[in-house]
Structure 1
Amino acid sequence: MAKDTKHRLIEAGLGLLLERGYSGLGILAVLEATGTPKGSFYHHFRDKEDFALQVIDAYVSEVHAQLEACLSDEAVGPLDRIRGFFEATARVYESQGYMGCLMGGIGQELAATSEVFREKIEGCFTAIAERISVCLREAQRRGQLSPDADVLAIADLIVDGWEGAALRSRLRRNPASLSAMLRLYFDALPAIAPTAGAESGAAAP
Protein backbone atom coordinates (compact mmCIF):
# COMPACT_ATOMS: atom_id res chain seq x y z
CA MET A 1 0.00 0.00 0.00
CA ALA A 2 2.84 2.39 0.88
CA LYS A 3 4.46 1.77 -2.49
CA ASP A 4 1.15 2.42 -4.25
CA THR A 5 0.73 5.70 -2.38
CA LYS A 6 4.22 6.88 -3.32
CA HIS A 7 3.64 5.92 -6.96
CA ARG A 8 0.36 7.86 -7.06
CA LEU A 9 2.01 10.92 -5.53
CA ILE A 10 4.86 10.84 -8.05
CA GLU A 11 2.46 10.33 -10.94
CA ALA A 12 0.38 13.32 -9.84
CA GLY A 13 3.54 15.34 -9.27
CA LEU A 14 4.70 14.68 -12.82
CA GLY A 15 1.51 16.10 -14.28
CA LEU A 16 1.58 19.14 -12.00
CA LEU A 17 5.27 19.85 -12.62
CA LEU A 18 4.73 19.69 -16.37
CA GLU A 19 1.75 22.01 -16.15
CA ARG A 20 2.82 24.48 -13.46
CA GLY A 21 6.58 24.14 -13.06
CA TYR A 22 8.38 23.91 -9.74
CA SER A 23 7.37 27.34 -8.49
CA GLY A 24 3.71 26.62 -9.16
CA LEU A 25 3.79 23.16 -7.59
CA GLY A 26 1.87 23.09 -4.33
CA ILE A 27 1.98 20.12 -1.99
CA LEU A 28 -1.68 20.67 -1.16
CA ALA A 29 -2.59 20.25 -4.83
CA VAL A 30 -0.72 16.94 -4.93
CA LEU A 31 -2.50 15.75 -1.80
CA GLU A 32 -5.89 16.75 -3.16
CA ALA A 33 -5.23 15.12 -6.53
CA THR A 34 -4.36 11.81 -4.87
CA GLY A 35 -6.56 11.92 -1.78
CA THR A 36 -3.45 11.49 0.37
CA PRO A 37 -3.09 12.74 3.97
CA LYS A 38 -0.23 15.16 4.61
CA GLY A 39 1.41 12.70 6.98
CA SER A 40 1.64 10.08 4.26
CA PHE A 41 3.35 12.56 1.95
CA TYR A 42 6.03 13.36 4.50
CA HIS A 43 6.50 9.68 5.19
CA HIS A 44 7.85 9.34 1.63
CA PHE A 45 9.40 12.77 0.97
CA ARG A 46 11.36 15.16 3.16
CA ASP A 47 10.02 18.30 1.50
CA LYS A 48 8.95 19.79 -1.81
CA GLU A 49 12.48 19.71 -3.24
CA ASP A 50 12.94 16.03 -2.38
CA PHE A 51 9.56 15.28 -3.94
CA ALA A 52 10.37 17.10 -7.17
CA LEU A 53 13.77 15.40 -7.41
CA GLN A 54 12.13 11.99 -7.02
CA VAL A 55 9.54 12.89 -9.66
CA ILE A 56 12.41 13.76 -12.02
CA ASP A 57 14.11 10.45 -11.19
CA ALA A 58 10.93 8.56 -12.08
CA TYR A 59 10.55 10.55 -15.30
CA VAL A 60 14.18 9.88 -16.26
CA SER A 61 13.75 6.16 -15.58
CA GLU A 62 10.86 6.08 -18.06
CA VAL A 63 12.90 8.01 -20.63
CA HIS A 64 15.83 5.62 -20.30
CA ALA A 65 13.56 2.59 -20.54
CA GLN A 66 12.19 3.96 -23.82
CA LEU A 67 15.70 4.83 -24.96
CA GLU A 68 16.93 1.29 -24.36
CA ALA A 69 13.86 -0.26 -25.98
CA CYS A 70 14.46 1.76 -29.15
CA LEU A 71 18.24 1.76 -29.33
CA SER A 72 18.68 -1.91 -28.51
CA ASP A 73 16.53 -3.15 -31.40
CA GLU A 74 19.21 -4.55 -33.70
CA ALA A 75 16.63 -5.38 -36.35
CA VAL A 76 16.52 -1.65 -37.08
CA GLY A 77 19.41 0.43 -38.43
CA PRO A 78 21.22 2.57 -35.82
CA LEU A 79 20.16 5.96 -37.21
CA ASP A 80 16.56 4.77 -37.54
CA ARG A 81 16.69 3.57 -33.92
CA ILE A 82 17.70 7.02 -32.72
CA ARG A 83 15.02 8.70 -34.78
CA GLY A 84 12.49 6.14 -33.55
CA PHE A 85 13.27 7.04 -29.93
CA PHE A 86 12.51 10.71 -30.56
CA GLU A 87 9.38 9.87 -32.51
CA ALA A 88 8.20 7.75 -29.57
CA THR A 89 8.98 10.65 -27.24
CA ALA A 90 6.94 12.97 -29.45
CA ARG A 91 3.98 10.62 -29.05
CA VAL A 92 4.35 10.89 -25.27
CA TYR A 93 4.34 14.69 -25.57
CA GLU A 94 1.18 14.47 -27.65
CA SER A 95 -0.52 12.34 -24.98
CA GLN A 96 0.40 15.02 -22.42
CA GLY A 97 -0.95 17.89 -24.51
CA TYR A 98 2.48 19.00 -25.75
CA MET A 99 3.64 20.12 -22.33
CA GLY A 100 7.22 19.48 -23.45
CA CYS A 101 10.11 17.81 -21.66
CA LEU A 102 10.00 17.87 -17.86
CA MET A 103 13.79 18.08 -17.61
CA GLY A 104 13.97 20.94 -20.08
CA GLY A 105 11.19 22.87 -18.37
CA ILE A 106 12.54 22.46 -14.84
CA GLY A 107 16.08 23.06 -16.05
CA GLN A 108 15.15 26.40 -17.59
CA GLU A 109 13.27 27.39 -14.46
CA LEU A 110 15.82 26.39 -11.82
CA ALA A 111 19.28 26.11 -13.40
CA ALA A 112 20.25 29.62 -12.32
CA THR A 113 19.01 29.24 -8.74
CA SER A 114 19.49 25.58 -7.75
CA GLU A 115 22.75 23.72 -8.23
CA VAL A 116 21.05 20.49 -7.13
CA PHE A 117 18.52 20.63 -9.95
CA ARG A 118 21.04 21.95 -12.47
CA GLU A 119 23.47 19.08 -11.84
CA LYS A 120 20.76 16.42 -11.88
CA ILE A 121 19.19 17.60 -15.14
CA GLU A 122 22.51 18.19 -16.89
CA GLY A 123 23.55 14.68 -15.83
CA CYS A 124 20.35 13.29 -17.34
CA PHE A 125 20.93 14.99 -20.68
CA THR A 126 24.57 13.88 -20.70
CA ALA A 127 23.57 10.25 -20.09
CA ILE A 128 21.06 10.36 -22.96
CA ALA A 129 23.65 11.86 -25.32
CA GLU A 130 26.21 9.23 -24.32
CA ARG A 131 23.75 6.42 -25.04
CA ILE A 132 22.88 7.93 -28.41
CA SER A 133 26.59 8.22 -29.22
CA VAL A 134 26.90 4.43 -28.86
CA CYS A 135 24.34 4.03 -31.64
CA LEU A 136 26.16 6.62 -33.73
CA ARG A 137 29.40 4.65 -33.35
CA GLU A 138 27.57 1.64 -34.73
CA ALA A 139 26.50 3.80 -37.67
CA GLN A 140 30.19 4.63 -38.18
CA ARG A 141 31.10 0.94 -38.23
CA ARG A 142 28.41 0.37 -40.85
CA GLY A 143 29.78 3.18 -43.01
CA GLN A 144 26.78 5.45 -42.43
CA LEU A 145 28.89 8.17 -40.77
CA SER A 146 32.45 9.27 -41.35
CA PRO A 147 34.92 7.47 -39.07
CA ASP A 148 36.27 10.91 -38.20
CA ALA A 149 32.90 12.25 -37.04
CA ASP A 150 32.74 13.22 -33.35
CA VAL A 151 29.78 11.08 -32.38
CA LEU A 152 29.44 12.51 -28.86
CA ALA A 153 29.35 16.04 -30.24
CA ILE A 154 26.69 14.96 -32.75
CA ALA A 155 24.69 13.27 -29.98
CA ASP A 156 24.89 16.42 -27.84
CA LEU A 157 23.71 18.51 -30.78
CA ILE A 158 20.75 16.18 -31.38
CA VAL A 159 19.72 16.40 -27.71
CA ASP A 160 20.14 20.20 -27.73
CA GLY A 161 18.08 20.52 -30.91
CA TRP A 162 15.36 18.29 -29.52
CA GLU A 163 15.06 20.28 -26.31
CA GLY A 164 14.71 23.51 -28.26
CA ALA A 165 12.06 21.92 -30.47
CA ALA A 166 10.25 20.61 -27.38
CA LEU A 167 10.05 24.14 -26.02
CA ARG A 168 8.62 25.46 -29.29
CA SER A 169 6.11 22.60 -29.43
CA ARG A 170 4.96 23.57 -25.94
CA LEU A 171 4.56 27.20 -26.96
CA ARG A 172 2.64 26.24 -30.09
CA ARG A 173 0.82 23.23 -28.61
CA ASN A 174 1.57 21.21 -31.74
CA PRO A 175 4.28 18.84 -33.04
CA ALA A 176 5.48 20.91 -36.01
CA SER A 177 8.78 21.94 -34.38
CA LEU A 178 9.55 18.37 -33.32
CA SER A 179 8.90 17.00 -36.80
CA ALA A 180 10.93 19.74 -38.45
CA MET A 181 13.89 19.14 -36.12
CA LEU A 182 13.94 15.41 -36.87
CA ARG A 183 13.78 16.00 -40.62
CA LEU A 184 16.58 18.54 -40.51
CA TYR A 185 18.96 16.53 -38.34
CA PHE A 186 18.43 13.10 -39.82
CA ASP A 187 18.46 14.38 -43.39
CA ALA A 188 21.76 16.10 -42.57
CA LEU A 189 23.51 13.11 -40.99
CA PRO A 190 24.25 11.36 -44.33
CA ALA A 191 26.14 14.50 -45.35
CA ILE A 192 28.89 13.53 -42.90
CA ALA A 193 28.98 9.93 -44.10
CA PRO A 194 31.87 8.67 -46.26
CA THR A 195 31.36 9.43 -49.93
CA ALA A 196 31.06 6.57 -52.36
CA GLY A 197 34.51 5.39 -53.36
CA ALA A 198 36.27 7.33 -50.60
CA GLU A 199 39.30 5.69 -49.03
CA SER A 200 38.58 3.73 -45.88
CA GLY A 201 38.84 5.96 -42.81
CA ALA A 202 38.66 9.19 -44.82
CA ALA A 203 36.19 11.86 -43.75
CA ALA A 204 33.56 13.00 -46.21
CA PRO A 205 34.25 16.40 -47.77
Structure 2
Amino acid sequence: MATTTRDRLLEAGLSLLLTHGYHDLGIQALLKQTNTPKGSFYHHFTSKEDFALQVIDRYMEEVQRGLDVALGDPSLTPLGRARRFFELTREKYRQDGYLGCMLGGLGQELSGVNATFAARIEACFGEISGRIASCLEEARHRGEIPQDADPRELANLLLNCWEGAALRSRLLRDPGPLDRMLDFTFSAATRAS
Protein backbone atom coordinates (compact mmCIF):
# COMPACT_ATOMS: atom_id res chain seq x y z
CA MET A 1 0.00 0.00 0.00
CA ALA A 2 1.39 3.38 -1.04
CA THR A 3 2.09 5.57 1.96
CA THR A 4 4.19 8.46 0.69
CA THR A 5 3.38 10.91 -2.08
CA ARG A 6 6.13 9.38 -4.20
CA ASP A 7 4.71 5.87 -3.62
CA ARG A 8 1.19 7.01 -4.52
CA LEU A 9 2.45 8.58 -7.73
CA LEU A 10 4.44 5.49 -8.70
CA GLU A 11 1.54 3.13 -7.96
CA ALA A 12 -0.80 5.26 -10.06
CA GLY A 13 1.88 5.41 -12.74
CA LEU A 14 1.93 1.62 -12.99
CA SER A 15 -1.71 1.58 -13.97
CA LEU A 16 -1.61 4.69 -16.17
CA LEU A 17 1.46 3.62 -18.16
CA LEU A 18 -0.01 0.18 -18.72
CA THR A 19 -3.34 1.62 -19.81
CA HIS A 20 -2.26 4.71 -21.76
CA GLY A 21 1.42 4.24 -22.57
CA TYR A 22 4.05 6.92 -22.22
CA HIS A 23 2.95 9.45 -24.82
CA ASP A 24 -0.65 9.54 -23.59
CA LEU A 25 0.33 9.71 -19.93
CA GLY A 26 -0.82 13.12 -18.75
CA ILE A 27 0.91 14.50 -15.70
CA GLN A 28 -2.21 16.52 -14.90
CA ALA A 29 -4.35 13.36 -14.92
CA LEU A 30 -1.81 11.65 -12.67
CA LEU A 31 -1.84 14.59 -10.24
CA LYS A 32 -5.63 14.70 -10.22
CA GLN A 33 -5.94 10.93 -9.66
CA THR A 34 -3.52 11.03 -6.74
CA ASN A 35 -4.68 14.41 -5.41
CA THR A 36 -1.09 15.66 -5.59
CA PRO A 37 0.08 19.24 -6.14
CA LYS A 38 2.28 19.79 -9.20
CA GLY A 39 5.20 20.93 -7.03
CA SER A 40 5.18 17.62 -5.18
CA PHE A 41 5.56 15.74 -8.46
CA TYR A 42 8.65 17.76 -9.38
CA HIS A 43 10.01 17.37 -5.87
CA HIS A 44 10.21 13.60 -6.46
CA PHE A 45 10.82 13.43 -10.22
CA THR A 46 12.87 15.68 -12.47
CA SER A 47 10.69 15.04 -15.54
CA LYS A 48 8.05 12.80 -17.06
CA GLU A 49 10.87 10.59 -18.36
CA ASP A 50 12.41 10.29 -14.89
CA PHE A 51 8.98 9.40 -13.51
CA ALA A 52 8.38 6.70 -16.14
CA LEU A 53 11.83 5.20 -15.57
CA GLN A 54 11.11 5.00 -11.85
CA VAL A 55 7.74 3.38 -12.61
CA ILE A 56 9.65 0.76 -14.62
CA ASP A 57 11.84 0.16 -11.56
CA ARG A 58 8.70 -0.27 -9.43
CA TYR A 59 7.25 -2.67 -12.00
CA MET A 60 10.45 -4.70 -11.87
CA GLU A 61 10.09 -5.00 -8.09
CA GLU A 62 6.75 -6.74 -8.74
CA VAL A 63 8.31 -8.95 -11.41
CA GLN A 64 11.17 -9.90 -9.08
CA ARG A 65 8.67 -10.86 -6.37
CA GLY A 66 6.86 -13.06 -8.89
CA LEU A 67 10.14 -14.67 -9.89
CA ASP A 68 11.00 -15.26 -6.23
CA VAL A 69 7.65 -16.94 -5.54
CA ALA A 70 7.66 -19.14 -8.63
CA LEU A 71 11.33 -20.02 -8.97
CA GLY A 72 11.72 -20.56 -5.24
CA ASP A 73 8.88 -23.09 -4.93
CA PRO A 74 10.56 -26.34 -3.78
CA SER A 75 7.41 -28.36 -4.46
CA LEU A 76 7.88 -27.98 -8.24
CA THR A 77 10.50 -29.28 -10.62
CA PRO A 78 12.77 -26.65 -12.17
CA LEU A 79 10.80 -26.69 -15.42
CA GLY A 80 7.58 -26.50 -13.41
CA ARG A 81 8.93 -23.48 -11.53
CA ALA A 82 9.77 -21.70 -14.78
CA ARG A 83 6.27 -22.38 -16.11
CA ARG A 84 4.76 -21.25 -12.80
CA PHE A 85 6.34 -17.81 -13.23
CA PHE A 86 4.52 -17.36 -16.53
CA GLU A 87 1.28 -18.70 -15.05
CA LEU A 88 1.46 -16.18 -12.20
CA THR A 89 2.17 -13.44 -14.73
CA ARG A 90 -0.83 -14.55 -16.80
CA GLU A 91 -2.97 -14.24 -13.67
CA LYS A 92 -1.67 -10.68 -13.13
CA TYR A 93 -2.53 -9.86 -16.74
CA ARG A 94 -6.05 -11.22 -16.15
CA GLN A 95 -6.45 -8.95 -13.14
CA ASP A 96 -5.32 -6.00 -15.27
CA GLY A 97 -7.80 -6.79 -18.06
CA TYR A 98 -5.25 -8.47 -20.33
CA LEU A 99 -3.35 -5.27 -20.98
CA GLY A 100 -0.14 -7.30 -21.12
CA CYS A 101 3.36 -6.49 -20.04
CA MET A 102 4.21 -2.88 -19.29
CA LEU A 103 7.81 -3.50 -20.41
CA GLY A 104 6.64 -4.90 -23.73
CA GLY A 105 4.17 -2.09 -24.27
CA LEU A 106 6.66 0.64 -23.46
CA GLY A 107 9.35 -1.14 -25.45
CA GLN A 108 7.14 -1.16 -28.53
CA GLU A 109 6.18 2.46 -28.02
CA LEU A 110 9.57 3.94 -27.13
CA SER A 111 12.51 1.70 -28.03
CA GLY A 112 12.85 3.09 -31.55
CA VAL A 113 12.75 6.71 -30.44
CA ASN A 114 14.34 6.81 -26.99
CA ALA A 115 17.66 5.08 -26.31
CA THR A 116 17.32 5.53 -22.55
CA PHE A 117 14.07 3.58 -22.43
CA ALA A 118 15.36 0.97 -24.88
CA ALA A 119 18.40 0.31 -22.69
CA ARG A 120 16.40 0.20 -19.44
CA ILE A 121 13.74 -2.12 -20.83
CA GLU A 122 16.33 -4.44 -22.41
CA ALA A 123 18.16 -4.56 -19.06
CA CYS A 124 14.90 -5.54 -17.36
CA PHE A 125 14.28 -8.30 -19.88
CA GLY A 126 17.88 -9.43 -19.31
CA GLU A 127 17.25 -9.69 -15.55
CA ILE A 128 14.12 -11.75 -16.08
CA SER A 129 15.77 -13.98 -18.66
CA GLY A 130 18.79 -14.49 -16.39
CA ARG A 131 16.63 -15.67 -13.52
CA ILE A 132 14.73 -18.07 -15.78
CA ALA A 133 17.99 -19.31 -17.32
CA SER A 134 19.28 -20.29 -13.87
CA CYS A 135 16.17 -22.35 -13.32
CA LEU A 136 16.51 -23.93 -16.76
CA GLU A 137 20.15 -24.76 -16.02
CA GLU A 138 18.89 -26.76 -13.05
CA ALA A 139 16.29 -28.39 -15.32
CA ARG A 140 19.09 -29.38 -17.71
CA HIS A 141 21.10 -30.95 -14.90
CA ARG A 142 18.04 -32.91 -13.77
CA GLY A 143 17.32 -34.17 -17.29
CA GLU A 144 14.11 -32.21 -17.82
CA ILE A 145 15.54 -30.57 -20.94
CA PRO A 146 18.27 -31.85 -23.28
CA GLN A 147 21.84 -31.77 -22.01
CA ASP A 148 22.99 -29.83 -25.06
CA ALA A 149 20.35 -27.12 -24.53
CA ASP A 150 21.58 -23.60 -23.84
CA PRO A 151 19.56 -22.40 -20.81
CA ARG A 152 20.18 -18.72 -21.59
CA GLU A 153 19.09 -19.11 -25.19
CA LEU A 154 15.99 -21.06 -24.10
CA ALA A 155 15.14 -18.42 -21.49
CA ASN A 156 15.41 -15.68 -24.10
CA LEU A 157 13.24 -17.67 -26.49
CA LEU A 158 10.63 -18.25 -23.78
CA LEU A 159 10.55 -14.56 -22.93
CA ASN A 160 10.36 -13.51 -26.58
CA CYS A 161 7.49 -15.92 -27.26
CA TRP A 162 5.75 -14.77 -24.10
CA GLU A 163 5.99 -11.11 -25.09
CA GLY A 164 4.51 -11.88 -28.51
CA ALA A 165 1.70 -13.86 -26.91
CA ALA A 166 1.13 -11.01 -24.43
CA LEU A 167 0.70 -8.59 -27.33
CA ARG A 168 -1.84 -10.87 -29.00
CA SER A 169 -3.59 -11.38 -25.67
CA ARG A 170 -3.83 -7.59 -25.28
CA LEU A 171 -5.24 -7.20 -28.77
CA LEU A 172 -7.87 -9.88 -28.14
CA ARG A 173 -8.37 -9.16 -24.39
CA ASP A 174 -8.20 -12.92 -24.01
CA PRO A 175 -5.73 -15.32 -22.35
CA GLY A 176 -5.83 -17.78 -25.27
CA PRO A 177 -2.50 -16.78 -26.87
CA LEU A 178 -0.76 -16.98 -23.49
CA ASP A 179 -2.24 -20.40 -22.72
CA ARG A 180 -1.32 -21.81 -26.13
CA MET A 181 2.21 -20.43 -25.91
CA LEU A 182 2.75 -22.04 -22.50
CA ASP A 183 1.27 -25.40 -23.52
CA PHE A 184 3.23 -25.58 -26.75
CA THR A 185 6.56 -24.39 -25.37
CA PHE A 186 6.64 -26.49 -22.22
CA SER A 187 5.31 -29.65 -23.89
CA ALA A 188 7.95 -29.23 -26.62
CA ALA A 189 10.66 -28.83 -23.96
CA THR A 190 9.72 -32.08 -22.23
CA ARG A 191 9.37 -34.02 -25.51
CA ALA A 192 12.87 -32.96 -26.52
CA SER A 193 14.48 -34.32 -23.32
Residue correspondence of structure 1 range 127-138 to structure 2 within 5 A: 127-138=127-138
**Equivalence for 2:186:** 186
Aligned mates of 2:148, 2:76 — CA distance in 1 = 23
Secondary structure class of the residue paired with 2:4: helix
Residue 167 of structure 1 corresponds to 167
Letter in 2 for 1:7: D
Runs of 4+ in 1 over 4 A off after TM superposition: none
Match of 1:126?
A: 126
Counterpart of 2:148 in structure 1 is 148
Q: How does 1:76-115 map to 2 (within 5 A)?
A: 76-115=76-115
CA displacement at 1:192 relative to structure 2? 2.5
Equivalents in 1 of 2:151, 2:22: separation in Å?
34
Alignment correspondent of 2:16: 16
- 1:37 lines up with 2:37 in the alignment: yes
1:15-52 per-residue CA deviation (whole Å, 9 max, x = no partner) reads 11111110000100100000000011111000100000
Distance in 2, Cα, partners of 1:53 & 1:113: 15
Q: Deviation per CA, 1:127-175, whole angstroms, max 9, x where unpaired?
A: 1111111111111111111211111111000000000000001000010
Three-state SS of the structure 1 residue aligned to 2:116 is helix
Cα drift, residue 3 of structure 1: 5.6
**What amino acid is aligned across from residue 173 of structure 1 in structure 2?**
R
1:28 aligned partner: 28
Gaps of 5+ in 2: none
State, as a whole percentage, how many aligned pairs show the same letter.
Answer: 52
Distance 1:166 1:121 in 2: 16
The answer for unaligned runs of 5 or more in structure 1 is: 194-205
Displacement of 1:76 in angstroms is: 1.1
Residue 202 of structure 1: aligned partner? none
Equivalents in 1 of 2:172, 2:128: separation in Å?
25
- Is 2:66 the partner of 1:58? no
Q: Number of residues paired by the alignment? A: 192
Larger radius of gyration: 1
2:12 maps to amino acid: A
Indicate the RMSD between aligned Cα atoms, in angstroms: 1.1
Contact 1:149 1:192 in 2 (8 A): no
Secondary structure (helix, strand or coil) at the match of 1:55 reads: helix
Take 1:88 and 1:64, find their aligned partners in 2: how far apart are those partners? 12
The Cα shift of 1:55 comes to 0.4
Following the alignment from structure 1 to structure 2, what is the Cα–Cα distance between the partners of residues 147 and 130? 18
Q: Name the amino acid aligned to 1:149.
A: A
TM-score by length of 1: 0.91
| Contact 1:100/1:170, CA 8 A, preserved across alignment | yes
Query: Normalization by structure 2: what TM-score?
Result: 0.97
